[in-house]
Amino acid sequence: MGIAVQGATDAARAAADIVLTQPGLSTIVDAIFISRVIFQRMKNFLTYRIAATLQLLVFFFIAVIKMHPKVGVNQSHVCACKVDQS
């Protein structure tokens, strides 16, 4: 990857992949610093979302365990009412 700075010759600018418009290489240092800050924010957000998802999963798992859901229909609770067909 080629980088040309502001005062570079036309040949260097043509061959470069990136042409900086400010003098010196401090622009690269600033870009690296900013990209590291952005990456850290993305990492923190992903950590937060994973933690929130795990919190919900644990909550629902505990709720299901505590409520003891019944699988199927228990026949003793079915209404055995007589229907008058006259």
CA–CA distance from 67 to each of 21, 60, 73 (Å)? 66, 10, 16
Tell me whether residue 47 is in a domain: yes
Tell me whether residue 55 is in a domain: yes
Who contacts 12 (Cβ-Cβ below 8 Å, separation ≥6)? 2, 4
Q: What is this structure's pTM?
A: 0.55
Tell me whether residue 42 is in a domain: yes
Q: What percent of the chain has pLDDT over 90?
A: 35
Q: What's the number of domains the chain is made of?
A: 1
CA–CA distance from 62 to each of 32, 51, 68, 75 (Å)? 45, 17, 10, 28
- For the stretch 2-23, pLDDT in tens is 777 777 777 877 888 877 777 8
Full residue range of the structural domain in which residue 45 is found: 3-69
- For the stretch 53-71, pLDDT in tens is 999 999 999 998 888 766 6
Q: What is the pLDDT of residue 45?
A: 98
Tell me whether residue 41 is in a domain: yes
